[in-house]
Every structure is written in structure tokens, then in C-alpha cells.
Amino acid sequence: MDKSETYIKMRLAAVSDLGMGIPPDLIPQTEVTWMNTFVFVDRLGNFYYSDVEQTCQLERQDQLQEMIEFPIGGINDNFWSVLRDISQWAFDFQHEDFKTYIPLSMGQLWLCFVMKELFKKRWIGDKWIKIVSGS
């Protein structure tokens, strides 16, 4: 699970697209498990970032994969299709996405891929921008 400052920044910037995530499953009057000052885990194992101003889910890699219908635990035609798409995108360093930012973890890579596939946006190091046709 990526809990880095960069991933948190990327996820918070994606709130308008991905939303705040699923609400924490907390048992009333029980403490959550805090990973650090701002990141906690609910009783179901979901990670969240929370400060005074906002709270949002920090999706795990499997949760990001499910957003693009990547079959977890099973192989079918869609598995190979998505794997081919992300492989082509991730290893093509001539691709515009990687001229401004190279993901430093699998979580960051999958978040970038989800934002590209679902919202046609790419990360430029400090914000998500709309991908212009042909770039």
C-alpha cells in the first residue's frame, strides 16, 4: 500500500473524478489504526487520508484494478486486454504521460492508468490535466 506523500497528493487531486472513496467502516467509540499522523486503516483494511479539511480513501492496487474491470484472481479475455493496454502504456517512455512524471510505485502507476482510462487525464507532477487528442 502506497502511503507516500506523492500518492496522497495524487489521490487528493483526483477527488473530483474518483470522489472521496467508500466511507470508513468504523465501529462507534473505537479507535482506528493510525499508520502515521494523517493515514489510518478502518476495520475492513481500507486506507484513508484525513486531516482537518478533508478525508479520502487511499485505494489499494487491487481496488484501482477493479475500477477498470481488471479481474482479480481470474484470467479471461479482459485480463489479457487490460494487461496489454497497461504494458504498452507503461513501457512506452515516448508516451506523453512519462515526459512529465514517472510513477514511483505500483499504486501510483495504477492510479495514473485509471485516471487515463476512465477520465482521460494525466498527472504532471502537481495536478491532473485533461489529455488533448494526439498527445
Per residue in 56-111, pLDDT (tens digit) is 999 998 899 888 876 566 666 677 777 777 777 766 645 555 666 777 888 998 89
pLDDT band per the 50, 70, 90 thresholds, residue 1? confident
Cβ atoms within 10 Å of 101's Cβ, excluding its own: 16
pLDDT at 71: 59
Residue with cell 487528493: 12
Q: What is the pLDDT of residue 77?
A: 66
| Exposure class string for 3-24: b at 16+ Cβ within 10 A, else e | beebbbebbebbeeebeebeeb
Q: pLDDT category, 37, cuts 50, 70, 90?
A: confident
Query: Which amino acid type is present at position 58?
Result: L
C-alpha angle with apex 58: 55 to 59, nearest 5 degrees? 140
Please tell me the pTM assigned to this model.
0.78
Closest to 36 measured CA to CA, from 49, 46, 25, 52? 49
